[in-house]
Structure 1
Amino acid sequence: MKKILTTITLAMLAMSVFAQQQQKIIIKLWPNGAPTNSGLTGPEQQLENGRVGNITDPTLTVYPAKKGNGMAIITCPGGAYIRLAMNHEGYDMADWFNAQGITYAVLKYRMPNGHPEVPLDDAQQAIKLMRQHAAEWGVDPNKVGIMGNSAGGHLASSAATHFTSDKDRPNFQILFYPVIEMKSGSGQMLLGKQPSAELMKKFSNDQQVTAQTPPAFIACSADDHSVPPVDNAIKYFSALTANKVPAALHVYPVGGHGWGYNDSFIYKREWTEELEKWLRELYK
Structure 2
Amino acid sequence: MEQIWIADEHVVDEMGTRPYLEPYLLSGATSAVIVLPGGGYEFRADHEGGPVAQWLNEQGISAFVLHYRLTPKHRGTPLEDGQAAIRHVRAHAAHYGLRPDRIGMLGFSAGGHLTAMTGTVCSEQEVLLPDGRTERISSRPDLMVLCYPVITMEGYGHEGSKLALLGADASSDRMTAHSAERQVSAHTPPTFIWHTADDEVVPVQNSLRMALALEQHSIPFELHVYEHGGHGAGLATGHPSMGSWTERCADWLHRQGW
Normalising to structure 2: TM-score of the pair? Answer: 0.89
C-alpha contact 1:76 1:90 (8 A) present in aligned 2: yes
- What is the letter of the counterpart of residue 63 of structure 1? Y
The residue that corresponds to 1:67 in the other structure is 28
The structure 1 residue matched to 2:163, chosen from 183, 188, 201, is 188
In terms of fraction of residues, the more helix-rich structure is: 1
C-alpha contact 2:229 2:242 (8 A) present in aligned 1: no
Q: 5+ residue gaps in structure 1?
A: 1-23, 43-55
The residue that corresponds to 2:5 in the other structure is 28
The structure 2 residue matched to 1:227, chosen from 186, 202, 218, is 202
CA distance in structure 1 between the partners assigned to 2:143 and 2:77 by the alignment: 22
Matched, 1:57 2:18: yes
Cα deviation for residue 84 of structure 1 reads 0.5
Cα deviation for residue 269 of structure 1 reads 4.1
The structure 2 residue matched to 1:170, chosen from 141, 145, 157, is 141
Secondary structure of 1:207's aligned partner: helix
The structure 2 residue matched to 1:250, chosen from 221, 224, 248, is 224
Q: Deviations over 1:2-44 (max 9, x none)?
A: xxxxxxxxxxxxxxxxxxxxxx64212224432xx65x146xx
Q: 5+ residue gaps in structure 2?
A: 125-136
Q: Point out the structure with max Rg over C-alpha.
A: 1
Secondary structure of 2:18's aligned partner: coil
The structure 2 residue matched to 1:210, chosen from 182, 185, 188, is 185
- What is the letter of the counterpart of residue 282 of structure 1? Q
CA distance in structure 2 between the partners assigned to 1:233 and 1:123 by the alignment: 20
Alignment of 1:58-137 (within 5 A): 58-68=19-29, 70-86=30-46, 88-137=47-96
C-alpha contact 1:58 1:107 (8 A) present in aligned 2: yes
CA distance in structure 1 between the partners assigned to 2:52 and 2:19 by the alignment: 20
Cα deviation for residue 115 of structure 1 reads 4.2
Cα deviation for residue 105 of structure 1 reads 0.5
Cα deviation for residue 167 of structure 1 reads 1.6
Normalising to structure 1: TM-score of the pair? Answer: 0.81
Q: Deviations over 1:183-239 (max 9, x none)?
A: 422111110111011100001111111111111000111100111112x00111100
Secondary structure of 1:83's aligned partner: coil
C-alpha contact 1:25 1:63 (8 A) present in aligned 2: no
C-alpha contact 2:235 2:246 (8 A) present in aligned 1: no
- What is the letter of the counterpart of residue 29 of structure 1? I
- What is the letter of the counterpart of residue 20 of structure 2? T
Q: Deviations over 1:110-162 (max 9, x none)?
A: 01223443111111111111112211211111010111000000000010111
Decide whether aligned partners of structure 1 residues 41 and 126 sit closer, same or farther in structure 2, where only a CA change above 3 A counts: same
Secondary structure of 2:111's aligned partner: helix
Q: Deviations over 1:61-94 (max 9, x none)?
A: 01111231x21100110001111102x1010122
The structure 1 residue matched to 2:105, chosen from 120, 123, 146, is 146
> What percentage of residue pairs aligned between the two structures are identical?
39
CA distance in structure 2 between the partners assigned to 1:71 and 1:180 by the alignment: 26
Number of aligned positions between the proteins: 242
- What is the letter of the counterpart of residue 97 of structure 1? L
CA distance in structure 2 between the partners assigned to 1:174 and 1:116 by the alignment: 25
The residue that corresponds to 1:5 in the other structure is none
Secondary structure of 1:62's aligned partner: strand
- Which runs of at least 4 in structure 1 moved beyond 4 Å after TM superposition? none
CA distance in structure 2 between the partners assigned to 1:67 and 1:253 by the alignment: 38
Q: Higher relative contact order by CA 8 Å / sep ≥ 6: 1 or 2?
A: 2
- What is the letter of the counterpart of residue 187 of structure 2? Q
Q: CA RMSD for the aligned pairs?
A: 1.7
Matched, 1:239 2:210: no
C-alpha contact 1:114 1:189 (8 A) present in aligned 2: yes
C-alpha contact 1:66 1:98 (8 A) present in aligned 2: no
- What is the letter of the counterpart of residue 140 of structure 1? R
Cα deviation for residue 267 of structure 1 reads 3.1
